[in-house]
A = this chain, B = another copy of it.
Amino acid sequence: MLTLFHHPLYASCRFIRLTFGEYGEEIALIEERPWARRKEFLALNPAGTIPVLLAEGDHAIVGATVIAEYVDETRGALQRQRRLMAEDSMARAEIRRLVDWYLVKMDNEVTKHLVRERALKPLMGGEGGGSPDSTAIRAARANVRQHLKYTNWLAATRDWLAGPRLSYADVAAAGALSVLDYLGEIEWREFEAARDWYSRMKSRPSFRSLINDRVRGLSPASHYADLDF
């Protein structure tokens, strides 16, 4: 069984867990606190970032998109209709663009700030903790709507976010939005197409383990585990 070093509130880590879930492959999870800069972990990944996958032969595969490409090459390519990547190069580029959108752009503008200020700082103590920065929270919240609006547009104009089939784009977006949903930061009522799409994602068996995630000291929003929200 492969092992994933992850944290339950990192969008990029949820993306990888959902991916293995979609392919029906169980993985072992080790919760890593990257801010602690644990020596043994830095030996695996000198960048100190998560996720890191310990793959076949205990080789470390570092970073969400790198892991996703690895999983596609070693698993996805054999999955036919369930593959989370397209065959066509242009369609692949669109999927990758959206994965970057949710895991990099939205993370930098919204997700990582809300997670750090609201959930991680109380856990970090002397390793970067302290009081939440209300300016950072306000700035992130001002950006949430733009990303929901864009997601809503994608969901309203395509069957799935990147086109006619479920892909890594949906898995990345759902991973990221599920973090914001845990924190109760999404006004779903205003974004009907996005909500319908997210409801479809949430009903998938791959989502079950995320729905059961609980972070110490911070309960999820009341509707977090509801399939009808």
Contact = CB atoms under 8 A, between A and B. Distances in A.
A97 B62 contact: yes
A56 to B, nearest CB: 8
B105 A93 contact: no
A96 B47 contact: no
A89 B66 CA distance: 10
Nearest to A61: B93
Interface in A33-64: 46-47, 49, 55-57, 59, 61-63
Contact of A105 (B47, B59, B89): B47
A66 B150 contact: no
Interface residues of A, number: 28
Interface of A (DSSP majority class): helix
B46 A69 contact: no
25 contacts: A47-B101, A55-B90, A55-B93, A56-B90, A57-B90, A59-B90, A61-B90, A61-B93, A61-B97, A62-B93, A62-B97, A63-B100, A65-B65, A65-B96, A65-B100, A66-B96, A67-B93, A69-B92, A69-B93, A70-B89, A70-B90, A70-B92, A73-B89, A73-B92, A74-B89
Q: 7 nearest interchain CB pairs?
A: A66-B96, A73-B89, A62-B97, A61-B93, A70-B93, A66-B93, A63-B100
